Amino acid sequence: MLEPIADYLRFVQDTARTGKAAGLSPLELARQTDLGCFSELTDSERIVGNLYRAYAELDGAAPGAPIDVIGALRDMVAYNGGPLRCLL
C-alpha cells in the first residue's frame, strides 16, 4: 500500500534533481514533465508544490523547513490554468 507513495516520492526527487541541474524553475519543470503513471492522480498541480519542496531540500533545507508557499501556490494555479479546487 505504501509502495505507490514511495514510487511517487522517488519520481519527484529524481525529476527535481534533473530539473534543478538544467536550471529550470519548479513550474517550468512541471510543465515539461510527463507524469506518466501519476498523471491520473487527483490534483496533479501538486507536482509543482512537491518540486518546490524537493528543490529546497536539494539546496540543503531540512525536511519540513519553510518554503516559498506563496510562490508555490501561485505556480500551482498557473500550472492548473486557474483556481485550485477545494474538496473540504
| pTM for this entry | 0.93
Tell me how far the alpha carbon of residue 77 is from its chain's centroid: 13
Q: What is the pLDDT of residues 11-70, one digit of tens each?
A: 999 999 999 999 999 999 999 999 999 999 989 999 999 999 999 999 999 999 999 999
Whether 82 shows a pLDDT value over 70: the answer reads yes
**Alpha-helical runs (H) found in the chain:** 3-21, 26-32, 46-58, 69-80
Residue 59 confidence (pLDDT): 97
CA dihedral 59→81→15→52, nearest 10 degrees, is 20
